[in-house]
Amino acid sequence: MSRKRVAVLISGRGSNMTALIEAAKADDYPAEIVLVVSNRPDASGIARAREAGIATAIVDHTSFGEDRAAFEGALDAELRAHRIDLVCLAGFMRLLTPSFVTRWSGRLLNIHPALLPQFKGLHTHRRAIEAGVKRHGATVHFVVPEMDSGPIVVQEAVPVLEGDTEETLAARVLEVEHRIYPQALRLVAEGRASLAAGEPS
């Protein structure tokens, strides 16, 4: 079976992108990272992708003002030009509209630094500490129109330790992210995890 062609969308350093690039080097990995797209021209992950010999594109959302449809049209054109099969959002900080999400339904993954459905949205580590939870973690899920709400593919928990700060907890969760994203992409690329039509989100 030919390997799935994957695009990774980033907005910053792209450490999850790097984890996916490394995992895809395995001979038996069912996907290849063929494109990295950033909505921010200054994303340091772009340089890393280029060093890895991977095609990159910048689709700068600020060039489109408030016109989300135009931004997503440009994004979609890049993905189609590269014959992309699966899209991995990795530290991508733009909300995608229902029309884009629907067009890529079942082929769009995201990693969220919390144990969904807990702590949807931003600042998850600070909120976990403030809430006094003893377990936190990361989730890879299919993207659906509602933010941080799609069917879960892989999740892994970490303990919240006495004296944890937002930074120490974030670092512990990031290690998990770098493990579970490659696992989740493998499951989806091998067809062992799919967004069944009508599956409860």
Q: Which residues bind ligand GRF (CB under 6 A)?
A: 10, 12-17, 90-91, 111, 113, 174, 177
In angstroms, give the least distance from the CB of 114 to ligand GRF: 9
Query: DSSP character for 137?
Result: E
In angstroms, give the least distance from the CB of 51 to ligand GRF: 16
Name the residue whose CB lies closest to ligand GRF. 91
- Closest CB to ligand GRF among residues 13, 127: 13
Residue 64's nearest CA partner among 89, 47, 39 is 39
Residues catalogued as catalytic: 112
Query: DSSP character for 149?
Result: -
CA dihedral 59, 57, 84, 24 (to 10 degrees): -130
- Closest CB to ligand GRF among residues 15, 105: 15
- Closest CB to ligand GRF among residues 138, 188: 138
In angstroms, give the least distance from the CB of 111 to ligand GRF: 5
Residue 139's nearest CA partner among 109, 173, 113, 158 is 113
Strands 4-10 and 152-159: unpaired
Residue 153's nearest CA partner among 135, 180, 174 is 180
In angstroms, give the least distance from the CB of 14 to ligand GRF: 5
- Closest CB to ligand GRF among residues 22, 73: 22
Query: What number of helices (H) and strands (E) belong to the chain?
Result: 6, 7
